[in-house]
Structure 1
């Protein structure tokens, strides 16, 4: 397994790789994770090999030692995560030398973001991204729309495997009054944000969205649950704008997180560019209405129950929240999508599908090799 980041770094890919590794090991499949040194030290005995990072560009690590490290591993498949990562490019380069099947796991993030990010994604996918896709023996896309995007950049032999959540980690019968009383929400309508407090999650938009409700005196509270480098900036913005309708909790216990979901009237996910936000899957397990950025992966699966907004559209998010509070999806639709998430996006099924992809690669009599 090759990944640009791994815990203790905090992020969706890190959590996915760590959980997938645990699941594979529990099935008797040996896993070794190769990553860099740019994010801190990994706990010893975790089956993780950290190779010196030489440089990071826009958070993207260059780890040239990966080529030799992959060659030294006695493995059946090389599974690289994140099609935008230099680490995956390195695996593609090493593919011709080590002759081992190469699975490229794509995690999305093709829309939204800053103009600089969009320019980077397009330029990257036309060059290094295409190089990497065409040298993979099998690619994983999160949704049908993402698979079509990958095909435009040379992707082939694509399997659609979405992200996963573990419903057993969430208490859907949690008492909503715990969060409402502890955070002084009271009887107000609650709009909930859950996630790492970083720009790509749309955190910088939250005070401006909340201000559109604050100025009208609407009885709506915005709760921001999570931690990250933008926490203090978020507090300053809230104070400067005189927001009386925003609560910033920081990191909370699993018990309080479940209570927050149970208490929410709407879950807001204004990510600027992302693959498949876990918060959306978790909210739907709680049968909560969602307002989210128009991400292809979400539209593919949840067009009937979520309201979608173009990236960065402050008034669009506020309008969608108001519409959802006034006319939420019918309970029958929320129940149906909860069943879909529980059945399709659970870790057991996702792990099965990845193991099947490994089996397909290793059982081929001769892996097709790029020229």
Structure 2
């Protein structure tokens, strides 16, 4: 490499900063730290979310916008194919593919002589929004990404066990992370949405079925907490029937729908919430849950394996889909909350356990360990078996 920076190309995400999505938030934190560690990082973004005009370097990270079709079913796979072709021309030292859908292109990337790292953020084929064919493609992406990449990263032990059981390979477990935030002094976002500090239940997520907004809306209505509001932050990437149903039910329940919030406004909404709830049926390792904990919030999460892996006390979990238990838990937490010292302990605990600097260092170390291990002939032999 002649002492030049390690050239890393990221593929499989919409773009960043301030673009909703777990993978997007993950790479938004990771990439600038990789730059500090000595990487020349280029992120291949989707034109629908980050067009060429918005691709100025950010915190040392470079961006290249590639055309993307406006289609929920096609945008990721088409963009990933174009990204692999672009990478084959530019020849980075490492092509880092994020998520199992884009990982479908791993064999092509290897056959084109690229060194490929794949991060498995979760079994996306379990998401409710996908039909049978899309699930099959995602399962194939997982299979090829895990079996044919030069290196594999998983963000939780749950996913590591899945990969070992299904594909017979081990993976480096490198979780999502969180920064210790400063509390904003302002409450402009609260004033805008007519919210009382400490008197609202918060959910931050994309508006997709597996986030189970309808469960939370129903439970909040059943809880009947005086002077509290339900606040839903986020929106759908593509308008659909689920989004329309959530809007209808939210209006009936008197919930506040803020749309996508970023920067200071989002920090204010986190900092002054009385309770954060994540009722999801599917997660990898939820960054929004870690972010809520980094503000010291009381949290409630469904008892799916990815949420349980965060390691909270049992009082912070409820059975997935059980509206009555969730409603009762909301009521209880609205009364007792957390003491100031408990909130500060929570902040310290989560930011020490899920530290972005350590995550970046582990990722960089994996890159270096794989520089001499990629050959065209090894993957060609594998594919012919």
Q: Output the TM-score relative to the length of structure 2.
A: 0.77
1:75 aligns with: 92
Give yes or no for the alignment of 1:106 onto 2:120: yes
User: 1:161 deviation in Å?
Assistant: 0.8
Local SS of the residue matching 2:96: strand
Give yes or no for the alignment of 1:238 onto 2:250: yes
Q: How does 1:90-129 map to 2 (within 5 A)?
A: 90-98=105-113, 100-109=114-123, 113-114=127-128, 117=130, 123-124=136-137, 126-129=139-142
User: Structure 1: how far apart are the matches of 2:122 and 2:271?
Assistant: 29
2:77 aligns with: 61
1:275 aligns with: 284
Give yes or no for the alignment of 1:303 onto 2:315: no
User: 1:182 deviation in Å?
Assistant: 5.9
Change (3 A) 1:187 1:27: closer
Change (3 A) 1:365 1:211: closer
2:64 aligns with: 49
Local SS of the residue matching 2:202: strand
Q: Output the TM-score relative to the length of structure 1.
A: 0.80
Local SS of the residue matching 1:5: coil
1:190 and 1:266 in contact (8 A); partners too: yes
2:7 aligns with: none
TM-superposition CA deviations, 1:3-23 (whole Å, max 9, x none): 242247532212322443322
Change (3 A) 1:328 1:117: farther
> Aligned to 2:37, which of 21, 24, 27?
27
User: 1:290 deviation in Å?
Assistant: 1.0
Change (3 A) 1:92 1:305: farther
2:156 and 2:285 in contact (8 A); partners too: no
2:199 and 2:274 in contact (8 A); partners too: yes
User: Structure 1: how far apart are the matches of 2:315 and 2:90?
Assistant: 44
Local SS of the residue matching 1:57: coil
User: Structure 1: how far apart are the matches of 2:197 and 2:84?
Assistant: 58
User: 1:31 deviation in Å?
Assistant: 1.7
User: Structure 1: how far apart are the matches of 2:187 and 2:124?
Assistant: 39
User: Structure 2: how far apart are the matches of 1:326 and 1:237?
Assistant: 25
User: 1:158 deviation in Å?
Assistant: 0.8
User: Structure 1: how far apart are the matches of 2:259 and 2:358?
Assistant: 32
1:137 and 1:369 in contact (8 A); partners too: no
User: Structure 2: how far apart are the matches of 1:265 and 1:276?
Assistant: 23
User: Structure 2: how far apart are the matches of 1:130 and 1:278?
Assistant: 25
Structure 1 gap ranges (5+): none
1:309 and 1:316 in contact (8 A); partners too: yes
Q: Report the RMSD for the aligned CA atoms in angstroms.
A: 3.6
Give yes or no for the alignment of 1:222 onto 2:230: yes
